[in-house]
Structure 1
């Protein structure tokens, strides 16, 4: 007895040998592997500094700790790079899932646009917050601010 398996209906057929231009799916695949490795280093560095190398460990992490950390350009860039890569990595994964499982072109287009807009908004807002965060705003009531603000 012979079984015949029909050709599955993929949303995107395999790349033909005669096609010209950049292979965006391959670039996305490579980006996922590279960003994953960099994210592991960034996340474990973030956790090691906050939980192991800081005197007091987890109990020392409070508003003042975060405010002091975000006042340093090194940690601003570290956190922004981690944010950008995490959002781009996650949105690229969601894009892959949508391309694999959503077969109606209109719904696929709407979903991909929604993922792109959400990623852009999160990157813009996260970057703005990281670089403009001020734990000691001028004119604020000193009783509401962290203790290190009174020294300034």
Structure 2
């Protein structure tokens, strides 16, 4: 069963690629942002970074989706190895990491409207990020246009 996590910092294109992959692969799509408890969303909206303790119940929800809804593609930051290890407990989870320089993502976030995650938290996202190695995830260039990113993801999967 397909259990795929499209991961990376906020603004890297996880949702765009995840939705396209789910459609192409005949899987459900879940945006892990929708699984955050209201307190987490409010904290981020205030410009406060989440702690590991804040993320723990959220990661449990994401892991449950991966375990129970396969085939599924989940857009989830999964910034630390420990978070990815928690998600792997669902069994058979694969990761696609969307990576780009902070400046490129900052420009995207500045143009984005209506998202609860303010651009002011981007620094904390990069500080938290433990980039996965090739043994852990396929890494793709998030600066590619969506169609090219989808084609590369499908070819590499």
TM-score, structure 2 length as denominator? 0.24
Which one has the bigger helix percentage? 1
Instruction: Point out which structure has higher relative CO (alpha carbons under 8 A, 6+ apart).
Output: 2
Which one has the bigger strand percentage? 2
Q: Is the radius of gyration larger for structure 1 or structure 2?
A: 1
TM-score, structure 1 length as denominator? 0.25
